[in-house]
Amino acid sequence: MHAKLTTGAMLLAMSTLLLPAAAAPDWQMVAKTFGKSGTETPDGVYRIGLPRTDLKVSLDGVALKPGFALGGWIAFEPMGNQAMVMGDIVLTQDEVNPVMKKLEESGIEITALHNHLLRAEPMTLYMHVFGQGDPVTLATALHAGLALSKTPMENAAKPQASAQQIELDTAAVDQAIGHKGKANGGVYQFSIPRAETITDSGMQVPASMGSAIAINFQRTGAGKAAITGDFVLIASEVNPDEQPRLFFMHFWANDDAVKLGRGLKAALDKMDLKNS
């Protein structure tokens, strides 16, 4: 026996079928709000480059190009008419605290803060950020935070072909690594995605959202090059010397001793410790 749909049920079903799909984020409005435009990648991510072209950083006598180790970025992945945003922001030491405070006040999560290169002068740090919600609201928050740094926000001119030439045997480098790189601002770059599907909060994280291995070559003369980058590793690929795996969280503070003690106790209460 087949159940009959009532007129109301039929109208509800028809109206559901006729509902328009959620509109994709307006990337032009995101760019206008953020203060700098980006590009949409083949995997549907809107990515904005934030190279610190204003900084003169050197390491062991090598002047670092912005695309080599000073290349910040912000990337938006659509979630219907909402978005997930991730990124790395390159900051000087004096910029870290005000930018971090402003971003956290605006609902942007700081997921990591660290330096990529020891002995670099002046020291620069990478601040990793994360957020979910309305893309224009996210762009507003990120703009407010970056405004407290000297990060250049003007749109860069398209680099000339001569600026893209790399005085390295790039074919030999490609063969040695087993992947093909590309020239970008005097730096030879590799972006190597992992085989697994990477997810965060149930959302797939494409390679352009920072889940790919990044390797950069910068020529230093006489066939030599400096290299830097990020290896994206799963737990089993990190040197598994200790069991169970341990992670060290370093901390520092200067405040009332008892107040600090209470804060440390709150953290210790979250851990599996031996009874004293």
Does residue 128 lie in a domain region? yes
Based on the fold, state whether residues 145 and 252 are members of the same structural domain.
no
Question: Positive or negative CA dihedral for 91, 96, 102, 108?
Answer: positive
Does residue 172 lie in a domain region? yes
Based on the fold, state whether residues 225 and 260 are members of the same structural domain.
no
DSSP 164-183: H--SS-HHHHHHHHTS--EE
Does residue 263 lie in a domain region? yes
Which residue matches tokens 């503070």?
253
Based on the fold, state whether residues 250 and 177 are members of the same structural domain.
no
Based on the fold, state whether residues 70 and 161 are members of the same structural domain.
yes
CA atoms within 13 A on the CB side of 233: 9
Based on the fold, state whether residues 205 and 93 are members of the same structural domain.
yes
Does residue 252 lie in a domain region? yes
Based on the fold, state whether residues 198 and 122 are members of the same structural domain.
yes
* Residue 254: domain span: 240-268
Based on the fold, state whether residues 112 and 164 are members of the same structural domain.
yes
Based on the fold, state whether residues 189 and 85 are members of the same structural domain.
yes
pTM for the full model? 0.80
Does residue 182 lie in a domain region? yes
Does residue 84 lie in a domain region? yes
Based on the fold, state whether residues 94 and 201 are members of the same structural domain.
yes
Note whether 163 and 185 are within 8 A (CB).
yes
Does residue 7 lie in a domain region? no
Based on the fold, state whether residues 99 and 183 are members of the same structural domain.
yes
Tally of domains within the chain: 2
Tens of pLDDT along the chain (276 residues) come to 444 444 554 444 445 455 455 577 899 999 999 999 999 999 899 999 999 999 999 999 999 999 999 999 999 999 988 999 999 999 999 999 999 999 999 999 999 999 988 899 999 999 999 999 999 999 999 999 999 999 999 887 776 655 567 888 899 999 999 999 999 988 999 999 998 989 887 888 898 998 899 999 999 988 889 999 998 888 888 777 777 877 777 777 777 788 888 888 888 889 888 886
